[in-house]
Homo-oligomer: A and B are copies of this chain.
């Protein structure tokens, strides 16, 4: 019965090769992660998708706290006059802002923006909090919803409203702010690789691509299954751009009043999209065990006469495994085991535990890996030892597999013609020389839809200069950097 079910089921997910966007949408919907609503570009995150986000959030929140930051909560609204204080900032965000103009039956004196990001409102508050050098560093993070009125939306990747964290810090010196910016970049990298099994390239954004109002923007860039890059998180050195506009000054030990140096950094529900596109396959989602809402699903396999005995054993296993893994017993009576297999595969549960009458006789069970579809027969008395190890192995195998895919799809090209061909056909990252001219970058974007994703960094976090003799892929002039190009989300 299983094969027939399986076929029917899988048909519902469009093959990646046929239409990657549709594959993505199918997976998000069939795995019950999220859906659109009647409000343009707004999604509802369903319980299974939200469970995934909760695990992502908690794993990152722990790291944010361990590096000395505290959470706080700032208002949803940004008065128009505050948003306009930093010129680049408002220019960057104005086209996307949702405006509150009325409350009850009254028109407001000043329009209020729904925060598209919180620099303006937070800086206006920090200007009161920061008085002395003793108040520094100020290391605060916020988990919140933000709204950007996007023209084209895609579940998780670009939605009108999304959830994120935004860190906002103030420092005494320029050096400290730069150190913080890079520290959080590396926290993001370690987090993405360890928890999401998502290999990323950390790097510096170009002037064209940096955050409106930042001095420097650093990014972590992932490579998705269709060869397009995903900006998975950013960390900004804001310099004194905002502190001067919002008057955030402190009295230093030398009795001088000085403007603080600031950073901000964020990741969002977009990461869920990144996880889907880094790991998913034709059968649906594949979730890294560390963030999977369900790590092990127990599927009892029985007929009418063996039902009670098998279910009893399955319940026993569920109870035994609860302390060591996030486990769920699928005891539904109205669908077949085959249906269940496909259902949980589509939902990306890392391990399926099958138990039937013959297994019980042999005092064993079957563990099926979602990522490799490999099956293992495991004696029940070894389960408590085997399972945690298996989850660890799956996690590291997934990272390695994704890293290999990324490396296999990172290319150097002979010339601009090849560059264009690769971007049109294979996509992936192209590592190529760039003269450093923003206009050249713009032209490449217009002609190939590829942008500079980042300038790679050395171990000391400095942009790596182009090796001697490298030329710009577009102008043929000496290259300043070898940079990662890609089409992106």
Mark A residues whose CB is within 8 Å of B: 37-39, 42-47, 49-51, 53-54, 70-77, 79, 82, 94-105, 111-112, 114, 121, 124-125, 134, 140, 144-145, 147, 149, 161, 163, 334
Decide if B134 touches A75 in the complex (CB within 8 Å).
no
Decide if A104 touches B100 in the complex (CB within 8 Å).
no
Decide if B95 touches A104 in the complex (CB within 8 Å).
yes
Chain B CB within 10 Å, residue with most, of A37, A50, A75 = A75
**Closest residue of chain B to A73, judged by CB?**
B45
Q: How many copies does the complex hold?
A: 2
Contact with A99, one of B37, B45, B53, B100 (Cβ below 8 angstroms): B100
A121 contact set on B, CB distance < 8 A = 37
Decide if B39 touches A79 in the complex (CB within 8 Å).
yes
Decide if B74 touches A149 in the complex (CB within 8 Å).
no
Interface of A is mostly: mixed
Decide if A75 touches B44 in the complex (CB within 8 Å).
yes
Decide if B101 touches A101 in the complex (CB within 8 Å).
yes
In whole angstroms, what is the CA distance A101 to B99 when docked?
6
In whole angstroms, what is the CA distance A105 to B161 when docked?
18
Decide if A47 touches B74 in the complex (CB within 8 Å).
no
In whole angstroms, what is the CA distance A134 to B333 when docked?
11
A149 contact set on B, CB distance < 8 A = 103-104
In whole angstroms, what is the CA distance A373 to B350 when docked?
53
Additional 11 contacts, C-beta under 8 A, given A37-B75, A53-B73, A104-B149: A42-B77, A43-B75, A44-B72, A50-B70, A76-B145, A95-B104, A98-B112, A99-B102, A99-B103, A100-B114, A144-B145
Rounded to whole Å, the gap between the CB of A339 and the closest CB of chain B is 13
Decide if B125 touches A37 in the complex (CB within 8 Å).
yes
Contact with A50, one of B54, B72, B105 (Cβ below 8 angstroms): B72
Known: A50-B71, A54-B71, A103-B99. A112 touches B39 (CB 8 A): yes
In whole angstroms, what is the CA distance A76 to B98 when docked?
12
**Closest residue of chain B to A139, judged by CB?**
B47
A334 contact set on B, CB distance < 8 A = 134
Decide if B38 touches A79 in the complex (CB within 8 Å).
yes
Rounded to whole Å, the gap between the CB of A268 and the closest CB of chain B is 12
A124 contact set on B, CB distance < 8 A = 37-38
A104 contact set on B, CB distance < 8 A = 94-97, 149
Give the 4 A-B residue pairs with the shortest CB-CB distance, closest first.
A47-B70, A103-B149, A42-B75, A45-B73
Known: A44-B125, A100-B114, A149-B103. A73 touches B37 (CB 8 A): no
A72 contact set on B, CB distance < 8 A = 44-47, 49-50
A76 contact set on B, CB distance < 8 A = 42, 114, 145, 147, 161
29 sampled A-B residue pairs with Cβ under 8 A: A37-B74, A37-B121, A37-B125, A38-B82, A38-B124, A39-B75, A39-B79, A39-B112, A42-B76, A44-B74, A44-B75, A44-B125, A47-B70, A47-B71, A49-B72, A50-B73, A51-B70, A75-B161, A77-B161, A96-B104, A97-B104, A98-B103, A99-B100, A99-B101, A99-B102, A101-B101, A102-B111, A104-B149, A114-B114
